[in-house]
A and B are shown apart, each in its own frame.
Chain A
């Protein structure tokens, strides 16, 4: 059934495919990012409740959404790597992990910057913030594990296994932290007012989300190409390419 996917297990095919997509992805991503963020940060009306400080939503929300989307992409790649022993999937786990970690860090930092004017405090042990922090730890764990072995292939396989264990744990973490937050009767539970948002603010937000997604794909393409070259340096096609250029 999946025969049409078999060519994508070949590193050479993936290398050239990523090379074809990368210019389009990165230019579209930067364009959308500039469009969405400049529109959102400068040209939308101020919120009646939060004034002007809500504007960081155009960076914070897309990066938070993408931090979780990136983890699921990494987990899917890890699953493919472990079940079908596809090397390209192992390398793509390592390609995706730092991108996701950076997105999570951006979400946390922009969230703190938003929280200070909103709640008066930089940090609160809210369910979402705590889950996001633990997500950052999981990403850093995957990156740390991949570098801890002398043999790079063993590190890639171990990191894939850890990514899968982490993804199974992720919903548990989120729900447990949510429950924990409601169990502590003293905590003030704050939720961002999301649903009823004016279209003039909604459109730049959506464009920003799309921009972050496209940039993630572009960065992963770039990193995966580098990883393929690094790991396949002894193959004839790489040597031919190096000689040809």
Chain B
């Protein structure tokens, strides 16, 4: 349904915009109906930038975004309005998504004015109650209240209800649970799982691996703007290949194992993959040498591409930062 193809984003930084920051490099991924795809990465990985480009809050610098076969990379004001009927976003801090001096109802009124001007008050109320029921909120508990009277979890579900009023097909959920308490967090996650069952596609942006793992069908691991590994959740989490993914998984605090135990368990995999690069090994096996990589058939320069290690499990070059040398280059060149 949603396809990103070789998406790029370059920010101009510095006082006069003289220097450039390559925030997203050649990112290709897709989200299907009824599927949760998690974008996982640390701060500065470009995960939020990707979400914002999909929502047209930022322009992309290269590549294309396609929605249902239609190129939506550049949209005019009118077209964008139509696009937002199908695609909506919810963000990290629910308290700053609401205007604190108005009741929460105003959020829905604004939506009604822009998108449903001809809907009668009675049928609007019915629609609203349906949407609130879908996110397991009681209309009487919520409507007529100010944002500070509601909990973060309630507000976050309210924002999802707002998105549902538009019959959306894709939801971009950017860190929507990181501000919530543990006891309410899981309710919002379960809600995402339920919406997925109703055919919604969800792009779930998070830095928390255990949350990403809980609901998502596929995960995309980003590092400094580049996809280092992506695939079916169980494959990536069960058999992490890229050194960055392995580091990340070994750093997650578990509740049943200490960090030392995790490191001991992973020692064998670490040894097996040390000094290697599965990407360049696969490229070499196809009969292309490293020097020709710039002309690779997939057209992705400078080792930013991915190879399919096992069905549905893709991994990129094993170097971490763009200016680092590939750990496998010594062996592969010889």
Do the two chains bind? no
